[in-house]
Amino acid sequence: KEQYYSEQHSSLINKAYQTLLNPLSRGLYLLELNGVEPAQETDSDADSVFLTEIMEINEKLAEPKNEDILEEIETLIKVKQEELTKEVTAAFERDDLQEAKKLLAKMKYFASLEDKLKNKKIPS
């Protein structure tokens, strides 16, 4: 019985650690704690300049594999994620949950781009 409880707690601790480790999942969890629903894909709050930027990066990722372009995209994604993490932290600090929600929606787009990039970099 003790081993069973130990395994259950260990599993919960690992899940909590993984949630808090990543800025996106941590932010989404903080929204949830405050009773704010995260932005859905259908929410059209994202500005057109931002969506155009995402579309351009997606188009570059769709091109034939080019290490220089992939490196450029990787750097861009990293910089954008760091900027958004700082902005979302500031939004939470001033208790602006709606701004945090918008920023986290943008972070989701960059997390998706990062996944696409990782898949593209895997040798086929």
Could you write out the DSSP letters of every residue in 63-105? SSP-HHHHHHHHHHHHHHHHHHHHHHHHHHHTT-HHHHHHHHH
The domain tally of the chain equals: 1
d(Cα 115, Cα 124) in Å, to the nearest integer? 16
Q: What is the pLDDT along the chain (124 residues), one digit of tens a residue?
A: 888 888 888 988 988 988 888 999 999 999 999 999 887 765 556 688 888 999 999 999 888 888 889 999 999 999 999 999 999 999 999 999 999 999 999 999 999 999 999 988 876 5
Q: What is the dihedral of CA 51, 90, 22, 102, to 10 degrees?
A: -30
Q: pTM score > 0.85 for this model? A: no
CATH number at residue 99: 1.20.1280.20
d(Cα 104, Cα 111) in Å, to the nearest integer? 10
Are 62 and 68 spatial neighbours (Cβ–Cβ below 8 Å)? no
> Domain span at residue 81?
1-121
Are 79 and 95 spatial neighbours (Cβ–Cβ below 8 Å)? no
d(Cα 20, Cα 34) in Å, to the nearest integer? 16
